[in-house]
Amino acid sequence: MAPILLLHSMYGLRPAVHEAAGRLREAGHEVHVPDLYDGRVVDDPEAGIAIKEELGRDELLRRAVSAAAPYADQGLVYAGFSLGGALAQTLALADGKARGLLLLHGTSDLADDASTEIPVQLHVADPDTYEPVDWLNAWYLRMRRAGADVEIYRYRGVGHLFTDPGLPDHDAESADRTWAIAQAFLAEL
The tens place of each residue's pLDDT in the chain, 189 residues long, gives: 889 999 999 999 999 999 999 999 999 999 999 999 999 999 999 999 999 999 999 999 999 999 999 998 999 999 999 999 999 999 999 999 999 999 999 899 888 889 999 999 999 999 887 765 567 788 889 999 999 999 999 999 999 999 999 999 999 999 999 999 999 999 999
| Domains, the chain | 4-187 (3.40.50.1820)
Residues 6 or more apart whose CB falls under 8 angstroms from that of 137 comprise none
- Residue whose C-alpha is closest to residue 184's, from 3, 29, 9, 71: 29
Quote the CA–CA distance of 14 and 11 in Å, as a whole number.
7
In this prediction, residue 133 carries a pLDDT of 52
Quote the CA–CA distance of 80 and 66 in Å, as a whole number.
16
Burial class (CB in 10 A: 0-12, 13-18, 19+), 148: buried
Strand order across the 149-156 sheet: 31-32, 4-7, 77-81, 100-104, 119-126, 149-156
- Residue whose C-alpha is closest to residue 31's, from 79, 87, 91, 99: 79
pTM: 0.96
Residues 6 or more apart whose CB falls under 8 angstroms from that of 53 comprise none
The continuous run of DSSP H or E covering 4 comes out as strand 4-7
- Residue whose C-alpha is closest to residue 179's, from 167, 162, 166: 162
Strand partners, 12: 9
Beta-strand runs (E) in 25-179: 31-32, 77-81, 100-104, 119-126, 149-156
